[in-house]
Amino acid sequence: METTLQIYTVKQICEGFTYSETDNKGLYGLAGTLTIQPEYQRNYLYSENGGKNEVAVVDSVVKKYPLGLLYFNKTKDGRLEVLDGQQRITSLGRFCTGKFSYMLNDIPYKFASLPKDIRDRIENTQLLAYICEGEESEIKEWFKIINIGGVKINPQEELNAVYSGPFVSAARHEFSNKDDSRVQKWGAYISGSANRQDFLQEALKWVSNGNIEDYMQEHRWDTNINELQNHFNDVINWIESIFDEVYPQMKGLKWGELYDRFHNNPYNHTEVSQKVKDLLCDPCVQDRKNVFEYVLGGCNDTKLLNIRVFEESTKRRVYERQTIEAKAAGVSNCPLCAIGHDANKQKIWKLTEMDADHVKAWSKGGATDESNCQMLCKTHNRAKGNK
Ligand SMILES: [Zn+2]
């Protein structure tokens, strides 16, 4: 790989700058010869969180702080692409084309209205760029290495870079447009942000059973994303067809897996919705996020819900009462041992040898309170739990 160092002024870099609001990215600079956002680059992020980062870039230039090195890739046809520095260049380009204001002595200024000396200072600021030429694999390897500063690149953004091509372009277009109205709906079930490729990552995870990288490699040169798109829509439509309401606990669940396991089962939509609603209000349910999986699985696996257990003080009171009564009657203090026919029929167990049991099972509506608590020896408690 060949590298050369080149100095540009901000004015040169921003010459012919264009920004796409729809794609949320800076497009061109250097009078059209520089591609600011090649396919493998990330969306523009510095305007997020109220634009603090993009203002900071302008602030650095005004205060003559160094902006750091830029890295450009020279393509075979002689054009330049930004490898690193896209966020900084787009910030400068957006400012010079009046997209946001900069506070100077507590007054907001768009670029054109700034005092001339400040405008000159910005335009004449020199930026240092490394220009490299080499094989695609080398360039991308290097891109991985240099992208460790600034807003940290995440694994999906890196995969998008490594497997750039028509598939990634189409997939990004579908899943990472934060202004797409469907993003809000998807966000009810998926954590993260569309812009940071979290939705694309989830869609890929679902269609590939978690083998995202293999899937991207295999489909890299596909010109359509039909399978990805259809599978994603199937999962979302399935969720919506089963649950009446959207609950905050639905966000970030492993919906792809739940779909694979349960989508062939028939469900009574009204019953399912009511069951979910009841469980989410049940104070005994400690793992609310698992309510959906529990209901989809036919309400069998109560372990998922991490049902609240009896308090130690409750156990002790019940133990003492049971033991006094058992001693008076000359039987075991485990009611199941007492009605048995073996050596334990009259055994008085210690508190530590017993466990609390719901007389009426929680899953059948029994409460976790003293009136529904009995102490059983560990053997009988285990045997009852397994039924
Ligand atoms: Zn027993």
pLDDT per position as a tens digit, 260-300 = 999 999 999 899 999 999 999 888 898 999 999 999 999 98
CA of residue 120 to ligand 1 center, whole Å:
89
CA of residue 387 to ligand 1 center, whole Å:
15
Share the mean pLDDT of the chain: 89
Give the chain's residues under pLDDT 50: 149
CA of residue 307 to ligand 1 center, whole Å:
23
CA of residue 377 to ligand 1 center, whole Å:
4
* Cβ atoms of 139 and 1 closer than 8 Å: yes
Q: Three-class SS of residue 253?
A: coil
Query: Whole-angstrom Cα distance, residue 149 to residue 141?
Result: 16
CA of residue 286 to ligand 1 center, whole Å:
28
DSSP secondary structure, 162-209, as one string: HT-SHHHHHHHHHH--TT-THHHHHTTTS-S-TTTTHHHHHHHHHHHT
pLDDT of 147 reads 60
CA of residue 305 to ligand 1 center, whole Å:
27
Q: Where do the H-state alpha helices sit in the chain? A: 10-14, 52-62, 86-96, 116-124, 136-146, 155-162, 166-175, 182-186, 198-208, 212-219, 226-242, 255-262, 269-281, 291-296, 312-329, 335-338, 378-385
CA of residue 322 to ligand 1 center, whole Å:
13
Dihedral, CA of residue 108, residue 111, residue 116 and residue 118, to nearest 10: 70
**Domains of the chain, with CATH numbers?**
1-150 (no CATH), 154-264 (no CATH), 312-385 (1.10.30)
- Strand bridging mode 126-133 / 34-35: unpaired
CA of residue 161 to ligand 1 center, whole Å:
63
CA of residue 334 to ligand 1 center, whole Å:
5
CA of residue 353 to ligand 1 center, whole Å:
10
CA of residue 309 to ligand 1 center, whole Å:
20
CA of residue 121 to ligand 1 center, whole Å:
86
* Residues contacting residue 298 through CB under 8 Å, at least 6 positions apart: none
pLDDT of 295 reads 96
Neighbours of 293 (CB within 10 A): 18
pLDDT of 324 reads 97
pLDDT of 385 reads 65
pTM over 0.75, yes/no: no
pLDDT of 210 reads 94
